[in-house]
Amino acid sequence: MLFELLTAKYPGMRRWLTQRLCALSMAVVLLLLWLRVMCLSPQDYSEWQALFAPLWWRLLSVWFFACMLLHAWLGVRDVLRDYVPHLGIRAVLQWLVNFAVWGNAIAVIWILFGMNF
Amino acid sequence: MMVKKQKKQRPKNLDLFTIRLPVNAVVSILHRASGVVLFLIQPLLLWTLYLSLSSAQGYAAVAKQFQQWPVKLLITALACAFFHHFYAGIRHLAMDVHWMTTLQKARFSSRVVLWLVAVTMVFVIWVIWVRG
Ligand code: HEM
Ligand code: HEM
């Protein structure tokens, strides 16, 4: 029964669970990121750069941002469905939201892997 | 047609002075509002991250901005939104797995969430405004 709920027959259940798993993952990863920022407590540009230098840190950051974007996208989608009954207006707003989420995703990749700092 | 009829007959009370929002409702609506705020602010945060990492000058520009009081105010407000969303989100996840779901326990955990936000914000305000 539980696993049937996760098949393509019930996309709403999948979205629901994805949003929860992303939230949980964010909470854990955030603790790790926070811990290292606190322990190194960077005071200037070179120390700030050094914080982002290790590959594992960038990968963990990308994972965090991916969870955040997916989580927030699913959340805003629900909010629009609750408060914007007019289908046309909602479609436009959802399009804008999707556009923003993709833009943010590209920005994240660019910041963490595209710049050679 | 049915829908229209139902809409008319539904009792309504939108008088803000007589509505008393239960504590669970307060935590819930603030969770939604803070989620939307955090969503909207993402581009600005990513832009700040970009600028701070792009060059020493960019980093200095960001550091200088962080000294301005309107920026400090914005950060304080965003921290409040984040910590509310965070604590209330953990509570939400706990209730999703059927933990503390009776009305009495839910009211208790709502109060815990609000207090955690308050205590964290005292700390945040100290870090941002007092310690510099
Ligand atoms: C997720 C839970 C948290 C963990 C695991 C954590 C961990 C730590 C650790 C290990 C340190 C000491 C770092 C060192 O060796 O210098 C520290 C310092 C500090 N933490 Fe946290 N922390 C957490 C949450 C918070 C929160 C929510 C705040 C404020 C909003 C905060 C503010 C600070 C401050 C201001 C310092 C002093 C940093 C300094 O003076 O360099 N922490 N934290
Ligand atoms: C570790 C941190 C976080 C946790 C534990 C968390 C938890 C949750 C949970 C459980 C929900 C579902 C609420 C519901 O269905 O009523 C939710 C909704 C939402 N979250 Fe988060 N969240 C976190 C971080 C974030 C961040 C960083 C953002 C934005 C960038 C965000 C944006 C949203 C939005 C927009 C919603 C929809 C609000 C609603 O439907 O009421 N969340 N969050």
Residue B63 lies in a domain: yes
Range of the domain at B27: 23-130
The pLDDT, as a whole number, for residue B1 is: 44
Ligand 2 atom 7 nearest Cα: B89
Model confidence over B25-75: pLDDT tens digits? 999 999 999 999 999 999 999 999 999 999 999 999 999 999 999 999 999
Residue B16 lies in a domain: no
Exposure string (b/e) for B71-103, b if CB count within 10 Å is 16 or more? ebeeebebbbbbbbbbbbbbbbeeeeeeebeee
The pLDDT, as a whole number, for residue A117 is: 60
Residue B3 lies in a domain: no
Give the number of other Cβ atoms within 10 Å of residue B8's Cβ. Answer: 7
B124 in contact with ligand 1, CB cutoff 6 A: yes
Atom nearest to A30 CA in ligand 1: 1
B72 in contact with ligand 2, CB cutoff 6 A: no
Name the pTM for this structure. 0.83
Q: How far is A72 from chain B, CA to nearest CA, in Å?
A: 6
Q: What is the CATH number of the domain that holds B41?
A: 1.20.1300.10
Q: Which residues of chain A have pLDDT under 70?
A: 1, 116-117
Count of domains for chain B: 1
Residue B8 lies in a domain: no
Residue B101 lies in a domain: yes
**Cβ B91 vs Cβ B23: under 8 Å:** no
Assign 3-class secondary structure to B71-123.
HHHHHHHHHHHHHHHHHHHHHHHHHHCCCCCCHHHHHHHHHHHHHHHHHHHHH
Instruction: Tell if the CB–CB gap between B53 and A49 is shorter than 8 Å.
Output: yes
Q: Which-ligand-closest: CA of A73?
A: 2
The full set of domains in chain A, from first to last, is 4-114 (1.20.1300.10)
Model confidence over B68-108: pLDDT tens digits? 999 999 999 999 999 999 999 999 999 999 999 999 999 99
